Amino acid sequence: MLPRRFRVASTRHDNHDTLTVHLEPCDGAPLAFAAGQFTMLQVFGVGEVPISISGDPRGSGPLQHTIRDVGSVSHALAFAAPGEVLGVRGPFGTGWDVADGKGGDVVLVAGGIGLAPLRPALLEICAERDDYQRVSLLYGARTPSDVLFGDDLRTWAERHRITVEVIVDRGEAGWTGRIGLVTQLIGKVAFGADRRLALVCGPEVMMRQSAVALVARGVDPSRIRLSMERNMKCGIGLCGHCQLRELFLCLDGPVLAFDRLEPLMARAEL
Q: Which stretch binds other proteins (CB under 8 A): 56-64, 70-78, 144-152, 193-201?
A: 70-78
Residue 203 preceded by cis peptide, ω within 30: no
Nearest-angstrom CA–CA distance, 142 and 215: 25
DSSP labels for 176-210? -SEES-THHHHTT----SSSEEEEEESSHHHHHHH
For 256, the 3-state DSSP assignment is strand
Selected range binding other proteins among 67-75, 125-133, 140-148, 183-191, rule: CB under 8 A = 67-75
Residues binding other proteins: number (CB under 8 A): 36
CB of 130 to other proteins, least distance (A): 36
Among 12, 44, 103, 192, binds other proteins (CB under 8 A): 44
Interacting span for other proteins (CB under 8 A) from 38-46, 94-102, 156-164, 217-225: 38-46
Q: Does residue 48 bind other proteins (CB under 8 A)?
A: yes
Query: What gap in Å lies between CA 245 and CA 200, rounded to an integer?
Result: 21
Handedness of CA 238, 240, 241, 246 (dihedral sign): positive
Asked if residues 114 and 199 have their Cβ atoms less than 8 Å apart, the reply is: no
Residue 8 in 3-state DSSP?
A: strand
- Is 75 a residue that touches other proteins (CB under 8 A)? no
Taking CB under 8 A as the binding criterion, the range among 16-24, 41-49, 56-64, 172-180 that sits at the site for other proteins is 41-49
14 is a site residue for other proteins (CB under 8 A): no
Give the three-state DSSP class for 153.
Answer: helix
- Near other proteins by CB under 8 A, which window of 68-76, 127-135, 164-172, 190-198? 68-76
Distance CA 119, CA 5 (A): 24
Nearer to other proteins (CB atom), residue 157 or residue 247: 247
To other proteins, the closest distance from the beta carbon of 33 in angstroms equals 17
Q: Is 251 in the site for other proteins (CB under 8 A)?
A: yes
C-alpha distances in Å from residue 175, one per residue of 84, 178, 190: 38, 8, 25
Secondary structure (3-state) at 140? strand
Closer residue to other proteins (CB): 213 or 265: 265
DSSP 236: S
| 108 neighbors 121 (Cβ within 8 angstroms) | yes
* Contact positions with other proteins (CB under 8 A) in 186-245: 229-231, 233-234, 236-241, 243, 245
Should residue 31 be labelled a site residue for other proteins when binding is judged by CB under 8 A? no
Q: In the complex, which residues of this chain contact other proteins (CB under 8 A)? A: 1-3, 5, 26, 44-48, 68, 70-71, 74, 85, 87, 229-231, 233-234, 236-241, 243, 245-246, 248, 251, 267-270
